[in-house]
Each structure stands twice: as C-alpha cells, then as structure tokens.
C-alpha cells in the first residue's frame, strides 16, 4: 500500500524562517500570508504572499501561514494578482490601494470600487485558467467598522464584492465560497484566495441564518459567503470554515462578554463540523484535528479566548492568534478553521520538540 500524500498542506511558521527556506523547500509552496504589525515583507518575491498589517499577541513574532501542494507548480502574474497553480489548486493574492482607483464622478465609494475591481480581476483570472470553484477567500482592510460616505466600510465592501459576483454571472446565494473579512492596522485592501478544479460544496450552519440571507439591517447587500466549504482532493475530504462569530440566527449574542462569545463561536464551529460530517459521512472531521486562526478585537482578551478554546477543544489544540477588528462593532472575537488537509504546526526552535507558534500556552 502506498502512503497518499495530501494534495494540500498548511504550514504555520515564523516569518523569519520563511525567508531562510531554500529553493527545494519553496518548490511546493502555493503561497500564503504573513501577519505582524507593522506588516512584515517576506523575501518571497517569486511567490504569492500577502503581508498583512495585523498585530500578533504582545511579544509574539510575525507568523506566516503557507499552503503547500506536492503537484508541479507554476507561478504567474495577471494584472494585480500574483498566483501559483498546479493541476488541482490555485492560490492567488492581491493588494490594492483604495485611494488610487476611484474616478471623481464614481457613485461608488473608494472601498466599494476597489473591492469590485479586485474581485473582477480574480474572477477573470479564474475563468481564464479554468479554476471555477473558490474554496476560500481571505479579506483584510483597514478601519472595517468606520463609517464613511454614510455607511460602515464593511457594508461598502459587501456591495463591491456582491457586484463583482453578479457581474461575472456567479451566484450570490447558495453556491458561494467560504470567507472572512477582518480589519487591519493599516495598508490597503488585501485579498487571498484558494481555488480548485474539483467540485466544492457549501456547508451552512443550522444554528445561523445563511449570511447571504441576512436582512438589510446589516447593510444594503448581504455578505457573499458560505459558512464553510467542503471538497474532496486526492481522496481526502477537506473543510474550510469561514470566520465564525457569536451570531445565532442573524443576531449577535453576549454583548461585551468575550468568554461567552468565544464559546458561542465554538458551538457554531461544532455545528458546522457536524453538518459537514452529516453531508460526508466518511469524512470524520473533528474539532481537535482542525487548525484554528483566531481574531481578537482587544489584545487584553487574548488570554481569555485562548483559555476558553483550550477548554472546549482540548490541550492538543492548534491555534494562532491575531488582533483584529471584526466586521460587526459588537463582535469581540472571530474564529476560522480548516482541516482534512495535512497540517504542520511551526517549530520556531527545531531543537525542542514543542510547537510554540500553535500551542495553547501564552
């Protein structure tokens, strides 16, 4: 029997380590994103990496998430998008400055306009390369909760995103990708995406109204994302869980209580995992086998969120933490996760067997 190598692997490693890797180690990289404040510019100019200006917990170093594939990969650039693809997967990213795109007579706000431009460019690339299904979008931009042009910026983003989906004849309900949208400490609009030629299935959460059906009290256009997406790659079931918050139905619960919000996020993630296992009975997705990325609004809440997560998931939890604004002003924490693919937690110090970047300790 041969050991089947996973078609996709997630590596979490300190940014400083990424820069040291040689050609061999880089060959299997699809791309990724690095997080720190100020933004860290990795020395990976030939690969699609986002530099996101987002603080790590106090004293913790810049960290990168790196997606790998064992398939032969080629890199390219189309317009603003840097990408890298194999036969099955394509990872791409772009960073745009919203101050440069708006025409004076444009009725769209600058953020709405740059968002629509970015998503149009992404869909053009994907159509041209026959990668029709997106597994996951990551969206990062500054001042996500700030009001400008008489509308919260997250709501402006939602209009631009939805218009690009509609403009490319894509569905904005039901069959939509998993995603997240978080506030950065600075910089422009940064979007990363992972697309595939395989069939992607959306997973919704029975505890939550689908975000694409949110009522208009949350903005004139509903957000275009699924609670999770599921795919079978190389015989393995994989799950990409969107940013998940303390929302039940369509309402925020536990105002001002970060511990209770964290537990509600985890109940939602557990419900998504259960729903994915119901759809794909052989998949065997487990909460304690996912890799988590956790966005906490207030740095002083990090320890509480970490403690609640370790209690819920178990001591073997793989999670890394970032300080970010979440896309409703009353949300204090948002948690995303993925699993079914291979995961290698980072070893900042290879001489000691522990994994300091993805551990439950502070």
| Closest CB to ligand 3EB among residues 85, 139 | 139
| Closest CB to ligand 3EB among residues 205, 304 | 205
Exactly one of 211, 238, 241, 290 binds ligand 3EB (CB under 6 A); which one? 211
Helices (H), 193-241: none
Q: Restricting to residues 334-353, name those near ligand 3EB by CB under 6 A.
A: none
Q: How many CB atoms lie within 10 A of CB 360?
A: 16
Q: Tokens 């393995």, residue?
A: 236
List, in order, residues 6 or more apart from 169 with CB less than 8 Å away.
Answer: none
Exactly one of 15, 94, 126, 247 binds ligand 3EB (CB under 6 A); which one? 247
Query: CA 103: distance to chain centroid?
Result: 30
Could you give the string, one character per residue 170-199, with x where binding to ligand 3EB holds by CB under 6 A and - elsewhere?
---------xxx------------------
Query: CA 285: distance to chain centroid?
Result: 19
Closest distance to ligand 3EB from the beta carbon of 139 (Å)? 6
Contact 306, 319 (CB under 8 A): yes
219 binds ligand 3EB (CB under 6 A): no
| Closest CB to ligand 3EB among residues 16, 201 | 201
Handedness of CA 74, 49, 45, 97 (dihedral sign): positive
291 binds ligand 3EB (CB under 6 A): no
Closest distance to ligand 3EB from the beta carbon of 145 (Å)? 12
8: left (phi over 0), alpha (psi -120 to 50) or beta: beta
Contact 65, 48 (CB under 8 A): no
Gyration radius of the chain over CA positions: 19
Q: Restricting to residues 132-171, name those near ligand 3EB by CB under 6 A.
A: 139
Exactly one of 32, 223, 340, 345 binds ligand 3EB (CB under 6 A); which one? 223
Nearest in space to 213 (alpha carbons), one of 171, 260, 256: 171
Exactly one of 156, 184, 210, 242 binds ligand 3EB (CB under 6 A); which one? 242
Helices (H), the chain: 15-20, 23-27, 110-128, 153-167, 258-279, 302-313
Give the 3-state secondary structure of residue 159. Answer: helix
Closest distance to ligand 3EB from the beta carbon of 57 (Å)? 21
| Closest CB to ligand 3EB among residues 86, 188 | 188
Q: Restricting to residues 299-328, name those near ligand 3EB by CB under 6 A.
A: 327
Nearest in space to 209 (alpha carbons), one of 196, 219, 223, 220: 223
Indicate which residues carry an active-site annotation: 334
| Closest CB to ligand 3EB among residues 187, 223 | 223
Exactly one of 92, 243, 340, 345 binds ligand 3EB (CB under 6 A); which one? 243
Site residue total, ligand 3EB (CB under 6 A): 12
Q: Restricting to residues 34-53, name those near ligand 3EB by CB under 6 A.
A: none
Point out which residues bind ligand 3EB (CB under 6 A). 139, 179-181, 211, 223, 225, 242-243, 245, 247, 327
């Amino acid at each position: 029997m041969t050991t089947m190598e996973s078609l996709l692997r997630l590596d979490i490693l300190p940014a400083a380590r990424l820069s040291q890797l040689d050609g061999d180690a880089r060959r299997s990289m699809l791309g990724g994103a690095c997080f720190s404040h100020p933004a860290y510019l990795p020395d990976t100019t030939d690969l699609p990496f986002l530099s996101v200006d987002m603080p790590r917990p106090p004293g913790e170093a810049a960290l990168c998430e790196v997606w790998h594939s064992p398939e032969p990969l080629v890199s390219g650039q189309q317009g603003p998008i840097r990408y890298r693809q194999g036969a099955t997967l394509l990872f791409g990213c772009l960073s745009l400055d919203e101050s440069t795109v708006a025409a004076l007579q444009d009725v769209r706000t600058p953020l709405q306009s740059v968002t629509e431009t970015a998503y149009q460019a992404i869909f053009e690339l994907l159509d041209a390369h026959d990668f029709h299904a997106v597994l996951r979008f990551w969206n990062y931009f500054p001042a996500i909760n700030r009001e400008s042009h008489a509308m919260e910026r997250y709501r402006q983003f939602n209009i631009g995103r939805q218009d690009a989906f509609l403009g490319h004849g894509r569905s904005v309900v039901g069959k939509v990708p998993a995603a997240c949208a978080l506030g950065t400490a600075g910089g422009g609009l940064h979007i990363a995406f992972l697309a595939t030629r395989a069939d992607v299935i959306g997973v919704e959460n029975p505890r939550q109204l689908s975000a694409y059906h949110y009522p208009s009290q949350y903005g004139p256009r509903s957000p275009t994302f699924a609670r999770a997406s599921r795919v079978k790659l190389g015989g393995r079931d994989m799950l990409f869980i969107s940013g998940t918050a303390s929302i039940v139905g369509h309402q925020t619960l536990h105002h001002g209580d970060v511990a209770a919000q964290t537990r509600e996020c985890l109940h939602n993630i557990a419900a998504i995992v259960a729903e994915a296992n119901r759809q794909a009975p052989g998949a065997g997705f487990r909460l304690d086998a996912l890799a988590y990325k956790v966005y906490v609004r207030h740095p002083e809440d990090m320890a509480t969120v970490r403690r609640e997560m370790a209690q819920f998931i178990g001591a073997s939890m793989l999670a890394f933490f970032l300080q970010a604004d979440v896309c409703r002003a009353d949300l204090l924490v948002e948690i995303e996760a993925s699993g079914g693919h291979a995961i290698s937690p980072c070893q900042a110090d290879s001489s000691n067997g522990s994994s300091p970047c993805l551990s439950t300790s502070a």
